[in-house]
Structure formats: C-alpha cells, structure tokens
Structure 1
Amino acid sequence: MTHKPTLAVKPGAVALMALMAATRFHHFGTPFALPDASLAIFFCAGLWLGGRYLFAMLLLEAGLIDYLAITKLGVSDFCVSKAYVFLIASYGAMWLGGKWCRQFAHLSLVSAGQQFMALVVSTSIAFLFSNGSFYWLSGRYPEGSWVQYIERVAMYYPPYLTHTLIYGVVIFALVSAAKSFLPAKTRQEAI
C-alpha cells in the first residue's frame, strides 16, 4: 500500500495569511482599519517559514484581496497600473530579507539588531521597487520630475517604513512570547 504524503498546515502561515486578510484593504489605514501589514508578513514568512509555495500563496492572496477590495468594496483602483507587477519584486525583497535573517537563529541583542536592520533595508528596497515603479511607470505622473519624485518619497516613505517596522516588531515579540511558553521540541513545529 502506498502512503500519500500530506501537506502540513503551519499555524504561523495561517496566522500571517489571516493578518493580511485583516489589514490589506487600506494601505495607510483609516480610523476604522489598521494599515496594510503585507510587507512585514512577507518578511516574517521568509524568516520563519520559507518555501516558494507559501510565497506564491501570499502573492495570490494579496492579488485576490486587491481585486475584491476594488471590485466589491469600492476601494480606489488608483494604485493599480502596469507598475503593479513590481509588487512581486517588493515582496520578494521582504521575503529574501527574512530568509537572510535565518542565520541569526540565536536570539541575542546583537542578532535582534541585525534582524531589525535587515527589516529596515528590505523595506527600503521594497519601497524603491513599489514607489519608484509606480511613479515612473504608472502613467499617473506624465510630467514627472526628480524633484516631484523626491517630494513623494518624503511623503510616503516614513509611513511605509514605520508601519512595517511596527508590525515586524510586534509580530516578532508575539512569536517570541508564544515560543517561550512551548516545550523546546514543539517550538519549531509551531511556526
């Protein structure tokens, strides 16, 4: 009798996907909705979970949420343009930044600082992909200039970075706290 392999569902993947579903509808947040956590989600998924299938699933989820938000919930489609495809590179930068941080498995103040800096650098690269491609390729700024682009960077980069850092720190703290309550053998299985 042949035994079929089963696909294990990781609670961490489910939690990250649920967080994306809960926050992706508003990029900067509103008084009634949290800002988008997608960047931190891709970083944490790369850090703890890995796997190209999860990366693809998160991309599909992001696209589906955007589609539903625009077609069913009346969210503006202003940000959707031919530059939308560059979100793959943005999320890839976050994913790879998280994967790079796997080398800092031993939790210490130094490794936490290294992971934090990797999150900052990954977020900055993701911003350049998403914001730069939108500004220069979307067609929304036909008279675009470097001066105007720098003004837009000054306007959008701080909340982009801040929201991602806050989510990253909170997710990391919650996972660390949860892992501290688990027996050593169960810790790796939990994520």
Structure 2
Amino acid sequence: MKALSVSRFNALWLVLMAVMIATRFKHFGDMLHLPDASMAVFFLGGLTLRRHWTFVVMVLLAVALDWVSISYAGVSDFCITLAYSFLPLAYAVLWYAGRWFAPRMSGSAMSYAGAFMVALLAAIGSFAISNGSFYWLGGRYANPHMSEYLSRLWQWGPLFVGTTMGYVATALALQAVVSRVATPANAQGGARA
C-alpha cells in the first residue's frame, strides 16, 4: 500500500476519529448506538495512517472519550482500574500489526484476505491483553484463578473480536470497492474494446 497524500491522510484520519467518537460511548451498543469500533479503528489506522504520532493521538482521544463518558454521560467507571494502563499496549498490538502488514497491501484479493487474518490475530492478542490485565490486575475479582479467567475470556472474547472483525471486514470491502472504482480501466489490465 503506497503512502497517502496529505489530503487523503487527513480525510481518513478524520473518518477514523469520527467513527471512534460515534461508537465509544456505549461499548456494547444498543438500538441507538453502534458497538465500540475502537479496536478496528486502531488496526485500520496502523494499516493506512501508519505514523507513530498518530497512534499516540488516537490513544489520547480514546482516553479523553472515556473520561467524558464517565464524567458527563453517566457511563460506569467499573473498568477504570490499574489495568486501564494496559490499554495503550492492547491498542499498540492492533496498530502495529496493521502497520506491519501495510507494505503487503497490493489491492489483490489475497492481500485483503491477509489483512483480515492479521487483524483477526491482532484482535485476539489485543483482547487477551486488555481482558487479562483487567481480570488479573483490576482488583474486581476476590480470588482470580485460571479456570474463571478462561471462562470470562471465552464469554467476552467472541463479542469483542467479532465486532472488531465486522468493522474491519466492512472497511476492507469498502477500500476494495473504492480502489477498484478509482483505478482507471487501463490500469486494471487494459480497457475492453
């Protein structure tokens, strides 16, 4: 995947920030709110934006949104524990997996499938970090033990990873369509006579 022009970089960055803002307040979603897209936003940001400073700004945005939602929107602070400090690491797994895969994005079906698989592995790793740190370090469970942790991992993992992959699949499909439409016919193997 070639580097984005400044205008495309800025437009995509604004879209990713808007998606995070629009979905972060209600983490599980309901009839009026979409599920949280943050994990997908971090993978897609790494895949397309790639810049380290942009990752830092996106983490700061996530923290600011959490603060606003807890302070002013009535969202519970149950998840704000010592484990919250592991979220940048969990998001870094997603961002840098996307960044690592970015040079392999060629626009072929295989590269999109590869991006999807890397996103899946990164989402699993990211969720394991965030969920594991919360379970083991959050102080919310009196006697943590491995069987309960694995049970909770299995209970919540499919929801978070599945939501992430739904957003990633949608974004990759959109990117494939836009790329196809934006590419002149002669660049797609020649115009038909």
**TM-score normalized with structure 1 length:** 0.88
d(CA) in 1 for partners of 2:181, 2:15: 18
1:138 paired with 2:135, answer: no
What's the counterpart of residue 75 of structure 2?
Answer: 75
Q: For 2:51, give the aligned amino acid.
A: G
Paired residues in the alignment total 179
Specify the SS of the correspondent of 2:95.
helix
d(CA) in 1 for partners of 2:9, 2:106: 25
Matches within 5 A, 1:1-191: 10-182=10-182
d(CA) in 2 for partners of 1:9, 1:102: 14
Shift of 1:46: 0.5
d(CA) in 2 for partners of 1:10, 1:161: 27
Q: Which runs of 5 or more structure 1 residues have no equivalent in the other structure? A: 1-5, 185-191
- How well do the aligned residues superpose, as a CA RMSD in angstroms? 1.8
Q: Which runs of 5 or more structure 2 residues have no equivalent in the other structure? A: 1-5, 185-193
The verdict on how the C-alpha distance between 1:76 and 1:183 changes in structure 2, with shifts beyond 3 A counting, is: same
The verdict on how the C-alpha distance between 1:169 and 1:9 changes in structure 2, with shifts beyond 3 A counting, is: closer
104-113 vs 56-65, which deviates more? Answer: 104-113
Specify the SS of the correspondent of 1:181.
helix
Specify the SS of the correspondent of 1:75.
coil
d(CA) in 1 for partners of 2:9, 2:94: 22
Shift of 1:183: 5.5
Shift of 1:56: 1.0
Shift of 1:134: 0.2
d(CA) in 1 for partners of 2:166, 2:114: 16
1:135-165 Cα offsets, whole Å, 9 max, x none, are 0000001211111111101110001110000
d(CA) in 1 for partners of 2:183, 2:169: 23
Shift of 1:98: 0.3
Q: For 1:153, give the aligned amino acid.
A: L
More relative contact order, 1 or 2 (CA 8 Å, 6+ apart):
1
d(CA) in 1 for partners of 2:39, 2:80: 17
1:19-76 Cα offsets, whole Å, 9 max, x none, are 0000011222122211100011010110011111110110111001000000000001
Identity in percent: 36
Indicate if the aligned counterparts of 2:9 and 2:49 stay in contact, CA closer than 8 A.
no
Q: For 1:88, give the aligned amino acid.
A: P
Shift of 1:89: 0.5
Specify the SS of the correspondent of 1:10.
helix
What's the counterpart of residue 188 of structure 2?
Answer: none
d(CA) in 1 for partners of 2:93, 2:103: 17
Indicate if the aligned counterparts of 2:42 and 2:95 stay in contact, CA closer than 8 A.
yes
Q: For 2:113, give the aligned amino acid.
A: G
Specify the SS of the correspondent of 2:29.
coil
Specify the SS of the correspondent of 1:159.
helix
**TM-score normalized with structure 2 length:** 0.87
